[in-house]
């Protein structure tokens, strides 16, 4: 029997209101046990600004982890972000809301964390463009 601990943090942004849902799932595995947490995940930023970097923190008994960041406009269809294979992802300048997630593979076990970035319309931001 195998035990895998999978933590999925899902955040969905609707307009400028954010809702978060966290779920922990326990399964049995032989040697690969790890948990994934997201730092600076969900954010609200002004139109045409750069969000703070998003960091994945992984703890467990696996010595090497592989990362793949993905983006989605709707939380259903995901696209790999070419070359984004590190624990820290720096989003580009954003002009619309977007959802990012990071797939983490440690010893054949994949899990992910999700971060929604809500972009406020230009008129809703203070001068200077930051929230």
- Return the pLDDT at 104: 87
- Return the pLDDT at 131: 53
- Per residue in 70-113, pLDDT (tens digit) is 999 999 999 999 999 999 999 999 999 999 999 888 877 677 77
The domains of the chain are located at 3-124
- Return the pLDDT at 33: 66
Q: Taking the CA of residue 8 as centre, how many other CA atoms within 13 Å lie in the half-sphere pointing to its CB?
A: 11
What DSSP assignment string belongs to 8-61?
A: EEEEEEETTEEEEEEEEEEEE-SS--EEEEEES-SEEEETTBPPPPEEEEEEES
Fold entry, domain 3-124: Immunoglobulin-like (2.60.40)
**Residue scoring higher pLDDT (127 or 27):** 127
pTM above 0.85, yes or no: no
- Return the pLDDT at 51: 94
**pLDDT over 70 at 50, yes or no:** yes
For 60-91, give the secondary structure using H, E and C: ECCCCCEEEEEEECCCCCCEECCCCCCCEECC
Structure tokens at 74: 């709707």
- Return the pLDDT at 35: 75
């Amino acid at each position: 029997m195998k035990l895998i601990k999978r933590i999925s943090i899902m955040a969905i942004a609707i307009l400028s209101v954010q809702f978060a849902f966290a779920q922990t799932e326990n399964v049995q595995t032989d040697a690969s046990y790890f948990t994934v947490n997201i730092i600076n995940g969900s954010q609200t930023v002004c139109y045409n600004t750069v969000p703070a970097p998003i960091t994945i923190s992984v703890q467990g008994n696996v010595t090497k982890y592989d990362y793949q960041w993905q983006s989605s406009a709707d939380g259903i269809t995901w696209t790999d972000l070419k070359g984004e294979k590190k624990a820290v992802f720096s989003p580009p300048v954003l002009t619309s809301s977007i959802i990012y997630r990071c797939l983490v593979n440690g010893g054949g076990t994949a899990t992910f964390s999700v971060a929604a970035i809500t972009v406020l319309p230009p008129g809703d931001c203070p001068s200077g463009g930051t929230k």
